[in-house]
Amino acid sequence: MDEVHFQQHGSRCRMWVPPETKDPVLLHHPTRRSVGYFGAVRLRDGKLFFRRETGKFNAVTCWRFLKDLRAAATRTGRRVVVVADNAKYHHARLHREWWEQAAARFALDFLPPYSPELNPAERVWKLTRRRCLHNRYFPQLDEVILAVEAEFANWIKPNSTLRRLCAIT
């Protein structure tokens, strides 16, 4: 389980300009608008579960995502272990009692501090950026959402791409 922001703004670039051209202008969108997502990948088959977050990432929004994830993941009757990073709101007192009640079928395990390379969801975010957002201009934030969620739509069913990407090595 992890969270991510996909941003609308452009990035800096280096380019060669012929000497006869004076002061080239490269337009970028001057905004820091972004869209956030919570997501989790099932390692067994590479199925992605995600939820767009319109507000801030905090204990309340994390709890809401975890309840949705539990509802979707426990349909099979198997025990689910969610691996999360050490974000402060993952340890929130707000949902501690809920965790203790659900621990028999839905457990939470934490990664060591400062170890994002161990989180499979981080690989999903990186692949999404590379496939959908890299070297593209988005004049509206809605276009970022459409591009990202179109890619996510390919991954909401079990698939071999995410299974290989998130394989524990």
Domain with 51, as residue range(s), is: 2-165
Strands 2-7 vs 34-42: parallel, antiparallel or unpaired? antiparallel
Whole-angstrom CA distances from 23 to 13, 98, 115 are 15, 60, 43
Mean pLDDT of the chain: 83
Q: How far apart are CA 110 and CA 43, in angstroms?
A: 16
Burial of 60 (0-12, 13-18, 19+ CB in 10 A): middle
The pTM of the full predicted model, rounded to 2 decimals, is 0.81
Assign residue 34 the CATH number of its domain.
Answer: 3.30.420.10
Q: Does position 28 have pLDDT exceeding 80, yes or no?
A: no
Q: Say what the pLDDT of residue 19 is.
A: 76
Counting the structural domains of the chain, the total is: 1
